């Protein structure tokens, strides 16, 4: 039995019913680009043309997970490339699009079709993540359209920073969005990500107008994002969106520290410890006080 099939069977045994959010440490090991045809022999010009068309994407990896990237068993697709530089990023190897492997959208859809019965039976589907998924909007658009034609639930995990790249047609094919609100104070957002907060708010407003189910993700980093002022600011932004069905408070961890070192990148949170249970619960209570369902 292939390793991916064994993982799928294991996940299926644990996917019944709603489950609490599991920290990233509970992920199974990703499959890289296993099982997919890597188009490494394409000429540079042809590769760029096909990426512009959306028939070719830059893929970091894919994996099968449960209770992490949306409901049920998910096939999570990690695309390469990100416009932000979050201080706590645990996948800095997804920063550059050129570091991914070129993969055809049709090949990825064939892989989704292979698993769709189990995905659907568990109430799961696909989740497109990154890096930042919207660095490759045309590829994502074709992937979403193809998945919906297969009858598979679709989810996009995004910071919303490139929400302007999401067309109305793409929104038609999205069932769920995992929206990462990294800070609620503009100056702090800039410090955490190097980007601006407003695009995330604008994208959240669009999702609310369309009534697309949204789960908010907030990474709790001691000494960085954990102040009551910041958590209150995030909650005040989120409470305005009636389509938000849950908020996930994600405890900071050091699983990506070695990657930063290997890549020769400066890692500013080297001495930061994960939040304790008391801090996590206090943070959750702030969100709950705004009428939000929190995990």
The DSSP code sequence of 61-116 is: EEEEEESSSSSSEEEEEEES--S---TT-S-GGGS-GGGSEEEEHHHHHHHHHHHH
Residue 21 predicted with pLDDT over 70: no
- Least confidently predicted of 11-20, 71-80, 181-190, 221-230: 11-20
pLDDT for 1: 45
pLDDT for 49: 83
Q: How confident is the model at residue 46 (pLDDT cuts 50, 70, 90)?
A: confident
Domains delineated in the chain: 3-288 (3.20.20.70)
Q: What is the pLDDT averaged over residues 277-292?
A: 98
**Pick from 243, 245, 244, 249: which is nearest to 231 by CA?**
249
pLDDT for 52: 83
pLDDT for 152: 98
- Classified as helix, coil or strand, 58 is strand
Residue 100 predicted with pLDDT over 90: yes
pLDDT for 27: 39
**What tens digit of pLDDT does each residue of 199-215 get?**
999 999 999 999 999 99
pLDDT for 184: 98
Which has more confidence, 136 or 66?
136
**Pick from 267, 274, 277, 190: which is nearest to 230 by CA?**
190
Q: What is the pTM of this model?
A: 0.86
Tokens of 121: 């039976």
């Amino acid at each position: 039995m292939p390793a991916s099939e064994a993982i799928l069977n294991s996940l299926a045994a644990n996917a019944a019913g709603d489950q609490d959010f599991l920290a990233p440490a509970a992920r199974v090991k990703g499959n890289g680009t296993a099982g997919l045809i890597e188009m490494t022999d394409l000429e540079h010009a042809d590769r760029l043309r096909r990426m512009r068309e959306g028939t070719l994407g830059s893929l970091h990896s894919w994996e099968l997970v449960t209770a992490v990237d949306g409901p049920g068993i998910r096939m999570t697709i990690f695309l390469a490339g990100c416009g932000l530089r979050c201080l706590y990023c645990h996948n800095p190897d997804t920063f550059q699009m050129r570091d991914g492997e070129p993969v055809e959208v049709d090949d990825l859809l064939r892989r989704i079709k292979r698993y769709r019965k189990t995905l659907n039976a568990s109430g799961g589907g696909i989740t497109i993540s990154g890096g930042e998924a919207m660095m490759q909007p045309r590829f994502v658009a074709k992937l979403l359209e193809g998945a919906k034609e297969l009858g598979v639930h679709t989810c996009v995990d995004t910071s919303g920073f490139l929400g302007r790249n999401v067309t109305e047609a793409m929104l038609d094919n999205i069932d769920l969005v995992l929206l990462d609100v990294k800070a609620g104070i503009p100056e702090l957002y800039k410090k955490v990500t190097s980007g601006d907060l407003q695009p995330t708010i604008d994208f959240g407003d669009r999702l609310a107008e369309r009534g697309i189910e949204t789960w908010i993700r907030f990474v709790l980093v001691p000494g960085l994002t954990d102040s009551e002022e910041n958590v209150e600011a995030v909650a005040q932004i989120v409470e305005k969106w009636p389509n938000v069905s849950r908020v996930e408070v994600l405890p900071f961890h050091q699983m990506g520290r070695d990657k930063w070192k290997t890549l020769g990148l400066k890692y500013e949170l080297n001495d930061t410890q994960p939040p304790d249970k008391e801090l996590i619960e206090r943070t959750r209570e702030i969100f709950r006080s705004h009428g939000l369902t929190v995990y």
